[in-house]
Amino acid sequence: MGERIETGELKQWQHDLDEVLVQAPDRVRGVVQRAAFQIKKDAQSRVQGLKHAPAYPYSISYDTRELAGPTFVAEIGPDKDKRQGALGNLLEYGSAKNPPRPHMAPAADAEKPKFERALEDLAVRLLEGR
């Protein structure tokens, strides 16, 4: 005798997932925006108080946008059009005369597990709400 597979539950689960995906874009956008904001604030705090770059932390900003899919992306970092914003690479990676002051990469690394957990929690909430 062969194995018997019931497809009714699988079809219902697929239907539930499809409906969750319709609901998800606005909520996913919120998770991405929150993570971007947290990375910005963390990076700013990591470079506060530099005597030679007092305005630099205020040049760090973020922008989020939606791509096809829908997929949400965030761009976080110094705005070169703002005062001392062009110092970003020099501060993050250093130079021959200045040691690096990593702030963007560590801020992103610190936020990554929180971001992943927030997306997982969102998926669970949406599926449980079915």
Which pLDDT does position 25 carry in this prediction? 80
Q: Quick: pLDDT tens for 66-110.
A: 888 778 899 999 999 999 999 999 999 999 999 999 999 999 999
Rounded distance between C-alpha atoms, residue 64 and residue 101, angstroms: 25
Assign 6 a pLDDT band (cuts: 50, 70, 90): low
Q: At residue 4, does pLDDT exceed 70?
A: no
Q: Quick: pLDDT tens for 43-53.
A: 999 999 999 99
Which pLDDT does position 13 carry in this prediction? 66
Assign 20 a pLDDT band (cuts: 50, 70, 90): low
* Residues 115 and 31 sit within 8 Å (Cβ to Cβ): yes
Single pTM value for the model: 0.81
One-letter amino acid at 67 equals L
Map residue 14 onto helix, strand or coil: helix
Rounded distance between C-alpha atoms, residue 95 and residue 85, angstroms: 16
16 to each of 12, 29, 130, how far by Cα in Å? 6, 20, 7
Rounded distance between C-alpha atoms, residue 117 and residue 6, angstroms: 32
Please give the helix or strand (H or E) that residue 84 lies within, else none.
Answer: none
Q: For 48-80, give one letter per residue: b (16+ CB within 10 A) or e.
A: eeeeebeebbebbebebeeeeeeebebebbbee
* Residues 35 and 118 sit within 8 Å (Cβ to Cβ): yes
